């Protein structure tokens, strides 16, 4: 049995590869790692199992500097966004095998429409999943804070958008003070999902200390922002117990994070503007309420002063009016009292005259003059014969003269 040297074997493999892959071929895959050196771009390409991160196939690839320059002329700056970790690509390759360095895919062209199409397809699928779970509008239904002064910020401390956001808050024309807490996160690449989800979970646990969340990134191409077209990030935003603001920075398209958030804005400074204006609106409402209360108090004071003046006027004139009225009333009673007094006097005079006649009629002298007599026993008038007994001495008085007698 023949024995091959390693060089002979690899040379044979190289010949087989060259014979079977004479033409350039298109390959779809995902970039797991990307780096550049001296204008050359070195990539690790993988294919993962469906619905998991298990790697089913892997190869190294290279874009030589001259080829990269040609691709950049065709794709523009988009090529920089495509050559990022985690991006799915369709590349035209030449299969190359070297006896020492092994198999390598030499990339000759890239199809940007494939990457963009896959991103849009994935975006739609994520939104459909969130819609079925009832999560698209969940965070958006949370009431906005009246005064958003305590802000949890998800961004990179080195991002220009973060510094623009903070400067805008600090230099607001109303001189409001805002308390911000930075949760550092990756804004692009394969770490975006894990770091953003972890940060949102941390905010949710301490939600009582914050009024809202601001996810701040700044400008970038549609592909550059693809990390926010993510199911886990969408779910984390939806489940966040306080409103989430996004200023991810794309002028045309909305990411999944934008759609699920409570308030989506184009730029970090736009987020800052909204927060400032919400606070200014609240202050304006307080000022208007203060003015309204002052007007009510002023009206009450004016009415009270008017009532007091009216009372003073009444107190000045009412007693005199009442005295005059009572005086007139009393003067009206005088004639009536005089008539009543005159009538009573005449009535009493008649009664006295009648009594005088009666008194004269019963006077003892007048009674004796009419032939009556008065009998006394021991000086007391006898009015009943049963009070007398035999032997009593009586004295009888007549109009003229007295007699004494004894009862037998």
**Range 162-191 average pLDDT:** 93
The reply to whether 81 and 144 lie within a common domain is no
Q: Is residue 360 part of a domain?
A: no
Residue 316's pLDDT is what?
76
Residue 75, Cβ neighbours under 10 Å: how many? 17
* Residue 107: HSE in the Cβ half-sphere, 13 Å Cα cutoff: 28
- In angstroms, the CA 224 to CA 82 distance is 8
Residue 175 backbone class (left: φ over 0; alpha: ψ -120 to 50; beta: rest): left
The predicted-structure confidence for 68-89, as pLDDT tens digits, reads as follows 999 999 888 888 888 888 888 9
CB 142 within 8 A of CB 262: yes
The enclosing H or E element of 185 equals none
The reply to whether 85 and 137 lie within a common domain is no
Q: Is residue 240 part of a domain?
A: yes
The reply to whether 94 and 240 lie within a common domain is no
DSSP 115-140: HHHHHHHHHHHHHHHHHHTT-TTTGG
Residue 380's pLDDT is what?
81
The predicted-structure confidence for 330-364, as pLDDT tens digits, reads as follows 787 778 878 887 888 888 888 888 877 777 766 77
Beta strands in 127-200 (DSSP E): 150-155, 179-184
The reply to whether 98 and 129 lie within a common domain is no
Q: Where residue 50 falls among pLDDT bands split at 50, 70, 90?
A: confident
Residue 361's pLDDT is what?
66
Q: What are phi and psi for residue 160, nearest 5 degrees?
A: -60, -35
* Domain CATH number, residue 260: 3.40.50.2300
Q: Is residue 24 part of a domain?
A: yes
The reply to whether 141 and 277 lie within a common domain is yes
**Which domain covers residue 400, as residue numbers?**
365-406
- In angstroms, the CA 128 to CA 293 distance is 51
Residue 324's pLDDT is what?
77
The predicted-structure confidence for 124-136, as pLDDT tens digits, reads as follows 899 999 999 999 9
When divided into structural domains, the chain yields a total of 3
Residues of the chain above pLDDT 70, percent: 94
């Amino acid at each position: 049995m023949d024995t091959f040297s390693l060089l002979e074997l690899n040379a044979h493999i190289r010949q087989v590869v060259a014979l079977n892959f004479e033409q350039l071929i298109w390959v779809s895959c995902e970039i797991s790692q990307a780096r550049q050196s001296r204008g050359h771009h070195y990539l690790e390409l993988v294919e993962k199992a469906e619905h998991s991160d298990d790697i089913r196939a892997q190869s190294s690839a290279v874009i030589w500097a001259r080829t990269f320059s040609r691709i950049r002329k065709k794709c523009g700056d988009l090529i920089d966004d495509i050559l990022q970790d985690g991006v799915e690509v369709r590349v035209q390759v030449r299969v190359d095998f070297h006896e020492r360095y092994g198999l390598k895919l030499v990339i000759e062209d890239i199809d940007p429409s494939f990457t963009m199409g896959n991103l849009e397809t994935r975006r739609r699928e994520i939104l459909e999943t969130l819609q079925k779970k009832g999560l698209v509008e969940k965070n958006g239904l949370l009431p906005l804070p009246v005064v958003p002064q305590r802000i949890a910020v998800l961004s990179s401390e080195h991002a220009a958008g973060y510094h623009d956001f903070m400067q805008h808050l600090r230099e607001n024309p109303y001189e409001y003070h805002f308390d911000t807490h930075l949760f550092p996160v990756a804004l692009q690449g394969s770490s975006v999902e894990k770091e953003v989800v972890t940060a949102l979970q941390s905010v949710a646990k301490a939600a009582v200390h914050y009024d809202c969340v601001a996810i701040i990134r700044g400008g970038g191409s549609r592909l550059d922002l693809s990390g926010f077209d993510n199911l886990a990030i969408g779910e984390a935003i939806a489940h966040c117990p306080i409103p989430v603001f996004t200023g991810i920075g794309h002028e045309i398209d909305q990411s999944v994070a934008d759609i699920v958030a409570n308030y989506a804005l184009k730029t970090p400074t736009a987020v800052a503007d909204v927060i400032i204006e919400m606070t200014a609106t609240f202050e304006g409402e307080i000022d208007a309420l203060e003015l309204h209360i002052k007007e009510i108090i002023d009206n009450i004071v004016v009415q009270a002063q008017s009532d007091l003046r009216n009372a003073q006027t009444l107190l000045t004139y009412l007693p005199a009016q009442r005295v005059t009225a009572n005086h007139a009333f009393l003067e009206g009673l005088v004639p009536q009292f005089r008539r009543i007094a005159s009538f009573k006097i005449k009535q009493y005079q008649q009664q006295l005259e009648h009594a005088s006649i009666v008194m004269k009629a019963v006077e003892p002298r007048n009674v004796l003059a009419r032939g009556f007599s008065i009998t006394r026993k021991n000086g007391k008038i006898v009015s009943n014969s049963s009070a007398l007994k035999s032997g009593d001495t009586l004295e009888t008085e007549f109009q003229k003269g007295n007699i004494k007698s004894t009862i037998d």
